Structure 1
Amino acid sequence: MPLVVVGISVVILLLLMTKLKLNGFAALLLVAVAVAIVRGIPLADIPDVLSDGIGGQIGDTMLTIGLGAMVGRVMGDSGAAQRIAGKLLDAFGPRWVQVAMVVTSMLIGVTMFYEVAFVIIVPIAFTLVRVTGAKLLWVGLPMSIALSTMHSFLPPHPGPTAVAATFHASVGLTLFYGLFIAIPAGALIALVWPRLPFVKRMDPAVPTGLVGEREFTDEEMPGLGWSLGVALFPVVLIAGAAVTELAVSSDSHFMHLIAFIGSAPIALLLTLLLAIWVFGPRIGRSLEEVGGSCASAAKAMAMILLVIGAGGAFKNVLVEGGISDYIKDVTHSWPISPLVLAWLIAVILRVALGSATVAVVTASGVVLPLVAGSGINPVLMVLAVSCGSIAFSHVNDPGFWLFKEYFNLSVVEAIKVRTTYTTVLAILGLGGVLALDGILGALNV
């Protein structure tokens, strides 16, 4: 049974990394090869399947994460991150630092991918940890939870947007209704999870190389305007492109230019060039110093990118091995509510395949025939599938490894924290969708 293969492979992966202390990159590749053999993928094709998985994953993430890490390190080494962190503390106070992180993350995360927003905001979280003396997870976990919620629940993120197109649902209404679920659910979990006893017992250190250790005086730090301007520059470019896309014909030459500038890699590349000047020659730092900051960030990211790429290889083996097709066949005729079925199929696919985007797109294809016949609001179907796609993030999810490495956790610790919070978010999301269904039904909307 394919799902048994998935379960056993995850257990073996955990044993390799926790008991034998095998490097995550090597462990993921070994398990991926074993699963490929068991699922009957021809031996001659396995290297290509692994390469395609690594290439697809790294192609999607390397530019984003690498450029984002460089921007973050340049800001950190110039004192810009400390300036923003200091102003957040002044505005909210040390007692409300978690609220500051949730508000900041939700505002930025509405339009930006999890990985992009993560690497932009995490230097500020690291700086707040150093300045306040708080634990890393106390400050960083609310940020990650808020970003996860925005990315998985709402368009214009790729999964919800693709599902909205499949169901012919309004992207605008999906975003509008989704905010009523995402904001309370994300804020609740973001503020509760760091307070849970099993999380409070964890005390990881900030990873070396991703943020400077120097503490700046007020005179040494760049101004708040420049610091915020650089931090928000990619947000403006990406969000501006998303908004413009809704209002302008996609066939226009102007839209092609906007889409180019607003793509995450180009937006971050332009941000890096801006950061190099703003936090380099403009304030008296040499280009050699700024280049050193970029090099330090690149070295620190090397193993993270390798592990994420190996996670992509594992995911691709599961897809090529027919796991998603098997789940579609098994669940197609289950006699339950279309909203619950859509959510459940997305959950199963997320557990088996790791990729939230693959999960939502596959689940939408399974439940699409139910939309017309059930009378369910297609916007609610989009939200049900999207909420299910965040559940049970674990070792076959590249975002899991980003979370684990940046927060310096062991595999078991990352599962305890991230797998649990993503699952509870998915359950709360389903509850919100069912509540919205009842409210809209009562209002005849």
Structure 2
Amino acid sequence: MLVFILILCIGTLIVLTTWAKMNVFLTFIIVSVMAALLLGMPLEMIPKTINKGIGDMLGSLVVVIVLGGMLGKLVGVSGAAQRIATSMRNAFGEKYITWAMSLTGLIVGIPLYYNVGFFLLIPIIFSVASRYKLPLVYIGIPMLTALSVMHGFLPPHPSPMALTVQFQADIAKVFLYGFIIAIPTIILAGPIFAKTLKGIKSNTSITFTAEDIPEERLPSLATSILSSLLPVLLIGVGSAAASFTAGNPGAQKIWHFIADPNIAMVGTILIATYTLGIRTGRTLKQVMDVYADAIKEISLILLIIGSAGILKQVFIDTGVSGQIADGLQQLNMPPLLLGWLIAAILRLCLGPATVAGLAAAGIVFPLMQQTHADPNLMVLSVGAGSLFCSHVNDTSFWVFKEYFGLDMKRTFLSWTMMESLVSVFGLIGVLILNMVI
């Protein structure tokens, strides 16, 4: 009965958004209430679950998403993205531009959470695709592949970090093994897979890029890169400094404050307002107008993210994840494969990768103790499983769809397929390492 309800809810979501062309925000609310009723949630709990779901989801993301959108718009209209895109083209050439995008995503994705990295780097994807007349999805997938792999495999990202602690793994080995697996996974699911996506057309309404600006009016390459990637530097330096000042609680608090993504984005906006705005000849009012346009463009995305959080919360509050995982414990298969499978099924049912990974942890831990599986590899196996087959109940699916202007079919063929490849290649890497070490 539980499986039937899950299939019915996900099927209804797909039908209402594709066939009925219903607004995605409204669809999520309707399906969430339907799921709550079918799963037996008391009526008085449903409004509380709605409020908690949308509040928890947006509470941790809204500042980063809004400020990231504002920074992205300014990077585009100031010519910074144009300067970076030109430099990338000159350094790598159009033939190897997807490899350059993957490398950028790999470096940025180590210290930066996926959501922050997406909204920070999306203007560069748009700029490269527009300037060199290349398909948007073909350019974007390699960079987003790298960001996704870092998010699912490597500490200090939330899910692998929590799994490392819960499985009592060695964080240095998790990072090392994860990095070893990440390189071939990014190559296969990024630049190589992207070759099959050249025919996918985008119809996006979001415009990060502006008309070409004369070379002499562009910001310098150093200013463009530093202003665009300043959040990365602030978070990375702050995190590193915090670890080196472990014996000084006062200094550590300051560095943790600087490394917080929200604070890093606020600081970046203040600096970029000058370096990419006022310094390039714009008035403060003109810069604020740029920011206002950015907020208008991402408002629907914010609503979709929040409403997807409602459905996730319904599944959590009704105990769906626990019931599914309990059934999987009865399966007789290798523990690393089982850990991947549990996380993959929870990902299919719950949506967000971090939620799926953390939900799987409590089920996998006792199995790992019984089978004496390598805890470092189990972290990576669950992390890979948590990335499997992103679809309509995952906010990243809708963010990608809306930003890249795709219909459902093309989103499945590009984003969902990429995430599935990352998950499967990651599992293969874990199993190979398990035979070697």
Matched residue, 2:72: 72
Question: 1:3–1:352: 8 Å Cα contact kept in structure 2?
Answer: no
Provide closer, same or farther for how the CA distance between residues 214 and 16 of structure 1 changes in structure 2, counting only shifts above 3 A.
same
In 1: Cα distance, 2:326 partner to 2:367 partner? 15
CA RMSD of aligned residues (A): 1.4
**Separation in 1, partners of 2:116, 2:20:** 33
Residues of 1 paired with 2:334 and 2:411: CA distance? 33
Does 2:252 match 1:255? yes
Alignment match, 1:122: 122
The separation in 1 between residues aligned to 2:118 and 2:173, in whole angstroms, is 26
1:337 aligns with 2:329: no
Per-residue CA distance 1:308-346 (angstroms, 9 max, x = gap)? 111111111111121111022212232221111111110
1:437 Cα deviation (Å)? Answer: 0.6
Write the distance in 2 (CA, Å) between the matches of 1:22 and 1:89.
Answer: 41
**Aligned positions of 1:10-49 closer than 5 A:** 10-49=10-49
**C-alpha distance in 2, partners of 1:200/1:275?**
34
Partner of 1:103: 103
Q: Is the 8 A contact 2:239 2:255 kept in 1?
A: no
Q: Which residue of structure 1 aligns with residue 350 of structure 2? A: 353
Report deviation, 1:206: 4.1
TM-score by length of 1: 0.95
Aligned to 2:313: 316
Cα distance in 1, alignment partners of residues 374 and 325 from structure 2:
22
Q: Is the 8 A contact 1:136 1:205 kept in 2?
A: no
* Letter paired with 2:202: P
- Please give the alpha-carbon distance, in whole angstroms, between the structure 2 residues aligned to 1:192 and 1:292: 40
**Match status 1:187 vs 2:187:** yes
Question: Partner of 1:168: helix, strand, or coil?
Answer: coil
1:53 deviates by: 0.6
Give aligned pairs, total: 437
Partner of 1:81: 81
**CA apart distance, 1:409:** 1.1
CA contact (8 A) 1:394 1:415 kept: yes
Corresponding residue of 1:443: none
Task: Give the C-alpha shift of residue 246 in structure 1.
Answer: 3.7
Q: Is this contact kept in 2: 1:101–1:142, CA < 8 A?
A: yes
For residues 32 and 3 of structure 1, what CA distance do their matches in structure 2 show?
Answer: 16
Question: Per-residue deviation at 1:226?
Answer: 0.7
Q: Deviations over 1:270-301 (max 9, x none)?
A: 11111001112222211011111100100001
Query: Match for residue 143 of structure 2?
Result: 143
* Structure 1 segment 23-422 matched on structure 2, within 5 A: 23-196=23-196, 199-208=197-206, 210-249=207-246, 252-422=249-419
For 1:28 and 1:201, locate their aligned partners in 2 and report how far apart those are by CA, in whole Å.
Answer: 30
Aligned-partner residue type, residue 152 of structure 1: G
The residue that corresponds to 1:4 in the other structure is 4
Q: Is the 8 A contact 1:387 1:426 kept in 2?
A: yes
**In 2, are the aligned partners of 1:126 and 1:206 still within 8 Å (CA)?**
no
Q: Which residue identity does 1:177 align to in structure 2?
A: Y
Distance 2:226 2:332 in 1: 53
Report SS of the residue matched to 1:219.
Answer: helix
Cα shift at 1:373: 3.4
- The one-letter amino acid paired with 1:85 is A
| 157-166 vs 112-121, which moves further | 112-121
Residue type matched to 2:297 in 1?
A: A
Percent of paired sites with the same residue: 36
Q: Is the 8 A contact 2:204 2:402 kept in 1?
A: no
Shift in CA distance, 295/155, structure 1 to aligned 2, threshold 3 Å:
same
TM-score normalised over the length of structure 2 = 0.97
Q: Partner amino acid for 1:293?
A: V
Cα–Cα, structure 1 residues 201 and 354, in superposed 2: closer, same or farther, change >3 Å?
A: same
Q: Aligned equivalents of 1:402 and 1:224: distance in 2?
A: 29
**Aligned mates of 2:160, 2:281 — CA distance in 1:** 45
296-305 or 312-321, which moves further after superposition? 312-321
Contact 2:126 2:209 in 1 (8 A): no
- Code of the aligned partner of 2:291: C
Please give the secondary structure, in 2, of the residue aligned with 1:150: helix
- 1:374-415 CA deviation, whole Å, 9 max, x = no partner? 232210111111110000111111111111111111223212
Structure 2: give runs of 5+ residues left out of the alignment: none
Gaps of 5+ in 1: 441-445
SS at match of 2:44: helix
> Which residue type is aligned with residue 403 of structure 2?
Y
In the TM superposition, residue 159 of structure 1 has moved relative to its aligned partner by 0.3
Q: Which residue type is aligned with residue 394 of structure 1?
A: H
CA distance in 2, matches of 1:139, 1:420: 16
Offset, 1:245: 4.1
**Aligned partner letter, 1:117:** G
Task: Give the residue type in structure 1 aligned to 2:17.
Answer: M
C-alpha contact (below 8 Å) 1:136/1:206 kept by paired residues: no
Deviations 1:182-225 (A, max 9, x none): 111112111132222xx3332103433x4142211101101111
* 3-state SS, counterpart of residue 148 of structure 2: helix
Deviating beyond 6 angstroms after TM superposition, the runs of 4 or more aligned structure 1 residues are: none
